[in-house]
């Protein structure tokens, strides 16, 4: 699935991903339609996928920052 041309990963700063951004990504994936609210189930699914990705990222540590890639992924979603 291609990302929209105006998509930039830099749009997501640490701890700042919003429900609106999650809804936009869900619409892009075709699991939500315009006007639909983010359900608790879809939000929980998103966090479960995030944690699986963060688990992989935990294998990679930045010697400069002393954090893992998994820590950065969790921080993006506000999960510390």
Residue bearing the bigger pLDDT, 19 or 2: 19
Q: Domains of the chain: which residue ranges?
A: 40-80
pLDDT in the model for residue 17 = 82
Mean pLDDT of the chain: 82
User: What's the CA angle centered on 41, arms 39 and 42, to 5 degrees?
Assistant: 70
pLDDT number for residue 14: 52
Burial of 74 (0-12, 13-18, 19+ CB in 10 A): buried
Which among 16, 20, 24 is positioned nearest to 72, based on CA atoms? Answer: 16
pLDDT at position 4 over 80: no
d(CA 15, CA 72): 9
Q: What is the pTM of this model?
A: 0.70
Average pLDDT over residues 18-45: 88
Q: What is the pLDDT of residue 70?
A: 92
């Amino acid at each position: 699935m291609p990302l929209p041309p105006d998509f930039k990963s830099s749009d997501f700063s640490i701890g700042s991903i919003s429900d609106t951004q999650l809804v936009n990504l869900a619409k892009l994936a075709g699991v939500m339609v315009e006007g639909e609210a983010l359900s608790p189930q879809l939000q929980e699914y998103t966090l479960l996928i995030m944690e699986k990705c963060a688990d992989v990222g935990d294998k990679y540590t930045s010697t400069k920052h002393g954090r893992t890639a998994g820590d950065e992924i969790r921080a993006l979603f506000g999960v510390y």
